[in-house]
A and B are shown apart, each in its own frame.
Chain A
Amino acid sequence: MNSLPPNAPGFSFKTRVTNAWANIELLRQAVIASARAVFDDDTSVSIGTVASELMENAVKYGVWAGATVQTMRVAVRGREKVIEVEVEAPSSEEAAANLERHLAWMRSFASAEQAYQARIVELATAPADKRSSMGLLRIAVEGPCSIEAELTADKLLVVRALLVGSA
């Protein structure tokens, strides 16, 4: 996985919180407020949205029952115009495989915009299915960002979005 150097100067936000839904909005606002000290307004809002959608997925699709860790880790690092947003939460091989399938589906399109539009048409015209899968598509386009995922040996799923902003 691509990663910023651990000693990279610049913006850094890191915390660990429970999976309470209310924490997502609190952290979205905290990330935006902090990012505004470094980045322009649009970029700061994008960073907050990316963090928020990744946290929503972690809470919704994390495997919390029986997990030894009952918290999610949220980290945002920015250096110059490159920003990395990372959310880590308990998961499973099955959940990680589901996510990888979804990412592969997104990559099967020529662009994230095309995948986003295809899903918009589907949701606006076809009968409802269980999972909308809009969160990752949305941040891939709005960020814009690339998204990677990795399941650790401890069954923690790390989802990382890398976006380019304006200082």
Chain B
Amino acid sequence: MTNWIDIAALDDVPQRGARMIKTASGCVAVFRTANDAVFALDNACPHKAGPLAEGIVHGTSVTCPLHNWVISLETGEAQGADEGRVATYPARVENGRILLDSDFFRTRAAA
């Protein structure tokens, strides 16, 4: 069973943007697309750990700010010729609030 916890208001994250949240085992980037879908991914690019939360969000992808790898927000997979993947976590929006699955903290602690 998923146990959703309230993280913040949707409007705290700009459309086509991201914010970072800190956890005991590193940072997670929370993305919001142009159409208000949210995604949570490790805030570290599979290439050289660039902070994905600082990237440019387009469609359901983000471009890493360091060397322009394009990462799918849905799968965490690097797009195109690049290879690599970052962890993704369940995230959703309800009544204008962003919710993450509390299990995600446990998974992260184990990772």
Partners in one complex: no
Residues of A within 8 A of B (CB): none
Residues of B within 8 A of A (CB): none
